[in-house]
Amino acid sequence: MTDTGFGPYGTPAPPPPVAPKRRLRTGAMAGTAAAVALAAGLGLGHVAWSTGSPSVAASGASSSQSTGSGSTASSIAAKVDPGLVDIDTTLGYSQEEAAGTGIVLTSNGEILTNNHVIDGATTISVTDVGNGKTYSASVVGYDKTKDVAVLQLHGASGLQTATIDTSTASVGETVVGVGNAGGTGGTPSAAGGTVTALNQSITASDEGDGTSEQLTGLIETNANIQAGDSGGSLVNSAGQVIGMDTAASSGTSFQSAGESSGYEGYAIPIGEATTLAKEIEAGDSSSTIHIGTTAFLGVEIQAAGDGFGNEASNGATVAGVITDSPAQEAGLADGDTITSVNGHTVDSPTALSSLLSPDKPGDKVTIGWTDSSGLTHTATVTLSSGPPQ
């Protein structure tokens, strides 16, 4: 896939702070019954964490209380903690930091996480909970449409892997969401709850940059999944991973038609996530699976439409250009509107990303655009290597 800048469709970035601040990815997700938010938080975020120390409990119960099966959430989480990692990224072009969680798949450091945890990362640092060591990491590949990514730690060996249970979850069974809530690191948080529904579909959109994605087949839980938990484990009472924490309600509670108010979190079934991970590890690229480094044009694109996938058909407006990027070398500037790629019409930010997504670093593409005075331009650029999207 081709990264078009700070993120595929971001709104103009604020002036860089003196020191990068840890931020929340808080985008809204619209499902049939409720609005939910990407749980990895601390991602490309445009909203600072402002709710104080995150709770590690579901539905108001502390993590030390019973989950309903006679075991505490914390004791269940302790079984899986050593098979998790904390993921910290630098989003170099927007001067922000991000944090999430990952699941250890192999003893030599293959890590499963959400794509949105590493979206836009220029550097990735991973701390293994089991041994306390910190490693640099590279992106093996990702499937943006399924929100799955695989990392490889550099120089890792002897890591404790997570115990996986790929059998189908059951509504009502006890679960615990485990992860790096709030991006604080250290002992993972533990949020107890139950499975409330299966095979759920949601539309996930980031209110900061206007991107959206359809996620299907999800496990729904009332465990209080927090920002920073994305890529972490949803585990059963035996401490086996049954899902990868991915999304959560944007508010603390809400009431859907015909339902009582409460908390909703979502996890990708671990069988689906690990199947994709194996394809990525095998280098099996496809129309949705990207392997290796990401091609980079170097523009930030202004969000279009209402944030729920409804975009105006007026091209892709440039909100920023990365210094020394292919876009800058071609002459693109703030306020320009990209209208074509290789002769194909660009009528929205999504269309731009779709047209560039098959390309690799080093590929040449012809970009057409209209500048702020209405003049048209074309230029052939060589895409460089950039952060994953």
Q: Which of 56-65, 110-119, 224-233, 246-255 has the weakest average pLDDT?
A: 56-65
pLDDT at 52 over 80: no
- Does any domain span residue 288? no
Catalytic residue, chosen from 116, 245, 325, 357, is 116
Please report which confidence band the pLDDT of residue 205 belongs to, taking 50, 70 and 90 as the band edges: low
- The winner for highest mean pLDDT among 149-153, 264-268, 286-290 is 149-153
* Structure tokens that stand for 123 in this block: 């550097």
- Higher-confidence residue of 59 and 128: namely 128
Which of 220, 253, 281 is the endpoint of a domain? 281
Residues 180 and 229 in one domain: yes
User: Given pLDDT bands bounded at 50, 70 and 90, which one contains residue 3?
Assistant: very low
58 and 176 part of one domain: yes
Residue range 235-250: mean pLDDT, rounded: 90
* Range with the poorest average pLDDT among 73-77, 158-162, 318-322, 352-356: 352-356
Residues 124 and 192 in one domain: yes
Q: Which DSSP category does 41 fall into?
A: -
CB atoms within 10 A of CB 337: 19
Tens digits of per-residue pLDDT, 263-285? 789 999 999 999 999 999 999 98
* 230 given a catalytic annotation: yes
Residues facing residue 265 across a β-bridge = 221, 248
Residue 96 or residue 170, greater confidence:
170
Residue 69: pLDDT over 60: no
CATH number at residue 338: 2.30.42.10
Q: In the chain, how many domains are there?
A: 2
In a domain, 362, yes or no: yes
For residues 275 and 302, membership in a common domain is answered with: no
Please state, in angstroms and rounded to a whole number, the distance separating the CA atoms of residues 178 and 76: 9
Both ends of the chain: CA-CA distance in Å?
7
List the CATH number of the domain containing 64.
2.40.10.120
Is 150 contained in some domain?
A: yes
Give a yes or no: residue 290 inside a domain: no
Is pLDDT above 80 for 42?
no
Q: Are 237 and 349 part of one and the same domain?
A: no
Sequence-distant (≥ 6) Cβ neighbours of residue 38 within 8 angstroms:
25, 26, 27, 29, 116, 204, 206, 230, 246, 247
Q: What is the pLDDT of residues 156-172, one digit of tens each?
A: 999 999 999 999 999 99
Q: Which of 3, 143, 147, 209 is catalytic?
A: 147
Same domain, 32 and 66: yes
Residue 121: which residues within 8 A CB-CB, separation 6 or more? 89, 90, 91, 98, 139, 387, 388
Half-sphere exposure of 280 (CA within 13 A, CB side): 31
Q: Does the model's pTM come out above 0.85? A: no
Q: Regarding predicted confidence, which is higher, 255 or 98?
A: 98
**63, 74, 230, 233: which is the annotated catalytic residue?**
230
Structure confidence at residue 170 (pLDDT): 96
What is the β-pairing status of strands 28-31 and 35-38?
antiparallel
Beta carbons of 94 and 34 less than 8 angstroms apart: no
Note whether 221 and 359 are same-domain residues: no
**Residues shown for the chain:** 389
Q: Specify the higher pLDDT residue, 122 or 64.
A: 122
- Please say which residue of 218, 246, 281 terminates a domain: 281
Q: Which structural domain, as residue segments, surrounds residue 144? A: 2-281
Q: What does 262-314 look like in DSSP terms, one character per residue?
A: B--EEEEEHHHHHHHHHHHHTT---SSEEESSEEE--EEE---TTSSS---SS
pLDDT confidence band for 212 (50 / 70 / 90): low
Catalytic annotation on 147?
yes
Report the range of poorest mean pLDDT among 54-58, 199-203, 275-279, 376-380: 54-58
Helix (H, G, I), strand (E, B) or coil at 102: strand
Question: Which amino acid appears at position 351 of this protein?
Answer: A
Mean pLDDT, rounded, for 184-204: 91
pLDDT at position 113 is: 97
Q: Do residues 69 and 295 make contact, with C-beta atoms less than 8 angstroms apart? A: no
pLDDT above 90 coverage of the chain, percent: 51
Element (H, E) at 244: strand 241-249
C-alpha dihedral, 103 to 114 to 198 to 79, nearest 10°: 20
Would you say residue 312 lies in a domain?
A: yes
In a domain, 113, yes or no: yes
Do 342 and 253 belong to one domain? no
Residues 172, 75: Cα–Cα separation, whole Å: 20
Q: What is the bridge-based pairing of β-strands 174-179 and 265-269?
A: unpaired
Q: Which phi and psi (to 5°) does residue 29 adopt?
A: -120, 130
As a whole number, mean pLDDT of residues 224-233 equals 91
In a domain, 314, yes or no: yes
Residue 312: pLDDT over 90: no
Residues 188 and 311 in one domain: no
Q: Are residues 121 and 188 in the same domain?
A: yes
Q: What is the pLDDT of residue 213?
A: 75
Q: 60 and 38 share a domain?
A: yes
- pLDDT score of 304: 60
Mean pLDDT of 299-322: 71
Query: Could you tell me which residues are beta bridge partners of residue 149?
Result: 113, 142
Q: Which residues pair with residue 31 across a beta bridge?
A: 202
The pLDDT of residue 249: 72
Is position 212 within any domain? yes
User: Cα–Cα distance between 138 and 156 in angstroms, integer?
Assistant: 12
Specify whether 212 is located in the same domain as 101. Answer: yes
Residue range 59-80: average pLDDT?
Answer: 61
Q: What is the pLDDT of residue 55?
A: 27
Give the Å distances, CA to CA, from 358 to 209, 288, 365, 389.
22, 9, 11, 13
3-class SS at 34? Answer: coil
Nearest to 221 by CA among 242, 206, 204, 203: 242
Give me the chain's average pLDDT, please: 77
Residue 40: pLDDT band with limits 50, 70, 90: very low
Please report where in the chains the tokens 């038609």 appear, as a residue.
Answer: 257
| pLDDT for 250 beyond 80 | no
Q: 218, 250, 281 — which closes off a domain?
A: 281
Answer with the residue of higher pLDDT: 113 or 56: 113
348 — pLDDT class (breaks 50, 70, 90) = confident
From CA 338, how far away is CA 318, in angstroms rounded? 7
